Structure 1
Amino acid sequence: MASGQDLVKIAQAENGTKENGTNNVKYNTWFYGHEVDGSNYPWCAVFVSWCADKAGITTDIMPKTASAGYFAHYANQGHGEVFTNKNPEAGDLFLINYNGSDWANHVGIVASCDGSNITTIEGNSSDMVRSRTLSMSGLTFVHFNLDSSSGMTAAWTAREVPNIGRDLATKAYMAYQLYTDKSSGGYSYLWGSNSTTANGGLRKYKEFYCVAMGSYYGPDGTFIKVEFDDGKTIYCVKADEKKDSETDSKHMYHDYPFDRNVLEFIIDRTVVRNNDEFTSALNAAGINRSARIKAIWTSDSEPTYGGAGSTTAENEKEYHFIDTNEKISIHPTIFKQTPMQCDRHNGGLTVLCNDIDISSYVGDISWQNTKDTLATLFNFSVPKAGDMKYINMYKPQEGDIIRYSGGTQEDFRGVIIEVDDGDNYVNKYVAGDVGQYLNKTSDTYQFTAMRADDCIKKICGDLCIPIVMIPELPLLITQIYVDKAVSDVIADILTLCGGVHNFDFVPDGIRIYNCADMVVNPQFRISSNTELKDSIKYIGNVEHKTSIEDRKTSVKVISDTDVLTTLKDENSIAQFGFLQEVIKVGENEDAKKVAKNKLSELNNTSETYSGEIIEELNSYTRAGSVIAIGDEKYLINSSQHSIKQGVHYNKLDLERL
């Protein structure tokens, strides 16, 4: 496996590489599968991922991501360590403005450390790859287990480890000459197209060391996982069985002319003929001379990369969630409706309930959606018939399918999920689109080195959801989602891909898109015989506020009995005054880290921007889209639509990009 130094060497070779345009750089092209340009494609995390890939570090060890903070999040899931209170090593990552969870402003690679400062190699720093010297103060560091293949997954079976009666652990790991008997069962592992001679002359089949072991550990071709007491784990394949000289009753070890041993590395003698084979085998495999075997597992099937590795050992979980999802439609008829005949009533407005036209008596139409909640909720009312028994009005019910058009196309399709019949004159209804079903449906998914777009396609395929649009998402996903809402699974996958993505539903299916690509320009007419006007130019009821009401310029961290630390931002205090937050922590929490993260979170001026526009009945400006106000672009976080006297109003909550 690659070392931290390997990662540093790869990164340093890129020193001086510059952008062409805005974030148009070869590392982003590698990550996204095509050239990208624009402010939505920061690449500091992508650069780290690119270097890891070139160093041969697999995504189960270090994730491939465009999110700086996700490195820390992944390390905290058992793949490494996040720390602030000790010196980092070469190949560790540093984070700037880490929030303590899954976000950071910047990430780079540590090249060296002198105890007070680090030398870095980092991407997207002044629009280029460069090296800097930074003080360790205020930085967070991430260490990954680069020398471990802990992500090899198989149906591992725990085996007994013998006591061979020797003090030195190294006596148990010896080299053996190249096995050349082509009639042997180990032939394919030594001479096949996937076999190599690795450093030190060790023979390997793919990523597995070819070894000789006793019959207790299975026949030739059995895969072996060996864990040492210093945390080192190696993966092997049995290519020779040592029967003749076995002396223990279970055939777990054997006597070599020099000493007893459990495992022998098979070597290419032509490479190590003039060397001490026993020593070179240990060094080549990266085994500490004082380490001892802690545990041994075997598998009849070849392990694969992904997850944290599954075994049957105590305290380890074995996951079997791959391809276990039942293929069943999220709704039996929602995507099988006949084409809607639009533009017939109320100046273009049409509402169908189970294909029954209720346009002439429906009222109080409104709908809303937000970027965070996925689903669109559609509200309307229908008058109660009362004593008007000769009036033919359909009474909608729970489960009915509602379809709405503001003019030339179907704008909403959903299912009635709530009925309020308490009013004396009208029944009130709420319908939700298929996004509501994904919010309320949970499942379990396991992905192993699968492209992000393929993960989403699989989820949608399992639920028979048509995909209207989806961008190329080449990031390889290795994740297990247990009992998660389907919408949360898709949202997490998109978060891992970096950038600002969103997904929502239109009548024909799901859309997955980069928000920066969804720039809209809503328009309206004052009357039918006037020209279209830009809705944004006439935005009304504008509220644009900045506030320091919730800002904090100091954070004090306490325990039950003591003040542990206080962190202040002197510049903010000079400008805004002394505003302090007191936080109580447990005895095992890092008080300085808590203070740093909390101050970073609270020492900000909040901004809110909202306004109301008028747009055409057949226009639908929704959350996840981007609008331009002057020279600034804003992401629509939520939209609240209403139809009043034939006019389409839309209240927007915005976020500056």
Structure 2
Amino acid sequence: MGVIDNAVQWATDIANDDSHWYSQDVRWGPHYDCSSFVITAYQNAGVPVKDNGATYTGDMYNVFISCGFKDVTSFCNLSNGAGMLKGDVLLNKADHTALVQADGGTTVEARGTSFGIVTNVPYRNYPWDCVLRYTKDGGGYIANWVEREIPNIGKSLATKSYMAYQTYTNSQASGYKYLWGSDSSTSNSGLRKYKDFICMALGSYYGPDGTFVKIEFDDGKVIYAVKGDEKKDSETDSRHMYHTGSDANMTEFIIDGNIVTSNEKFTSALESEGINRSARVVRIWTSDTEPTYGSNGSTSGEKEYHFADTNEKIPIHNSIFKQAPMLLDGALKVVVNDTDVSKHIGDISWTNTKNTLATTMSFSTPKPKEMKYMNIYIPKMGDIMRYSGGDKEDFRGVIIEVDDGAMYENKYTAVDVGWYLNKTTDTYQFTSMRADDCIKKICNDLYIPIVLIPELSTLITQIYIDKPVSDVIKDILDKCGNGYNFDFVPDGMRIYLCSDMSVEPKFRISPNTELKNSVQYMGNIEHKGSIENMKNSVKVITDTDVMTTLKAEESISKYGFLQEVVKMNDGDNASDLSKKNLGELNKEDETYSGEIIEELTSYTRAGSTIEKDGVKYVITSSQHSIKNGVHYNKIDMERLV
């Protein structure tokens, strides 16, 4: 049995044993009050809620949430118990708690001195403040589950359609046996099943008919299904993940048309299986072999990845990627919350670096009181600020700082979405997952569009605990080697090889003169070389052994012996790891910095490469400013290896 079954079984056994009774004086065994009863049920089932500080109803919520429970109150009807599942914890933070014994709200609980510890209590609204559900139960079907992507279709992930199995008449088709075979049946609710697997129709992205599927919803409910029919490619999106009709559904349940004869009866059929029709799909796994039931729900070969502590999908920003195109006329333009403030802008500057990801833009506007006869929009924190040098939108960000202390002007700071990834931390677990799929998964969960990404076939096996999202993506790209970078443009994230992102900024001495290469006229130049960070030997180790040592003999002969020790992670290849690290570390650092002038329409940024004197350099930092109509840029570069 899984955690939930064990917790409920323990509670039921205690309730049926007359040697245990309700007590607030002796409450941690053999007798219990309401909170110690529920806490002990899950503690004994393997969830350390008591160890982590749960002692009474007033502190249960925070501790249970930290131990893998999720607040699913919004998916349940507190008036009648609909939507409640076995194992749910009903909580009134001030007075009482109970454990749901069966789907629908029947409880087992330490109810009080007059009732004792009782089982099979019909549902009642105590009233309850919330419903908590354990979402990490290991019980389930064992298979080599491989997690697949889900489409970014928002609320449509909660849309559940249905089709009658009687319409599937091609006995030669691969899905026929799952709908019509001897192991197929119709449940009392009207859902068609193959053995205990719910029959479904899915897009071809999720495999051929006969593929087994594990689906998790945002209320914590997990179902196991088999693909009995395929949505037509002509009726699905370009990746064949979801139906593109008016319902835009991803999941289509196969039913018995003689039982499920209306939309209302379909909703009832789902509810009888503990499935909330308004719950969204948050994760989906597939297996090309039939799973077997086991107590732990996984095997050493099971590929579980993505958020280890939450499956929540939240937009990194609700509206920043939903802006209408800017109306451009070839001139510099600044728009704040759809209001053109260009003519009121004073100095404007921005900075971006490879290391910090985010672009930070600063600008100023005159005090409204100094322009009392003009109608001027006053930017506020949280406003969306957009900038164009003339021919395209170059920057889109959110105002995060307002300085209105000066007498004659207000100063503002805006940042792009990279800032949010620097500030947002989470926990991720990936197992043998392609690097590009890892990044797509992260972006999908944060509703971040990807406008450019190369093939990244490196397999990632790594746990990231409480790391900034940007650091997770950086580490994934570092494991791919070869100088990848990522940044944000107005429409989303770009991932690219720095060597592929060549730029050649230009300027004009005067409007009617020819364009000149800005780098050739660079001023205030600084040029340095160093072996300060060089390593010419890499030793790869585990906790107990030296796996390999790779040396650059020519470099050692010239500069001396400089060694780096690298510890392997699970899944790493020692030879590949040593080659990657030696390739990155065995180099002379060469840095260049200087100041250039660019056209207003130019937007040279960190991560791009510039050629100077026949040598290619990666821009590590760019500091732009526009003063009196002239675009200045101070750039720092390092030699491209």
Give the TM-score normalised by the residue count of structure 2.
0.45
Higher-RCO chain (CA-CA 8 Å, sequence separation at least 6): 1
Give the TM-score normalised by the residue count of structure 1.
0.44
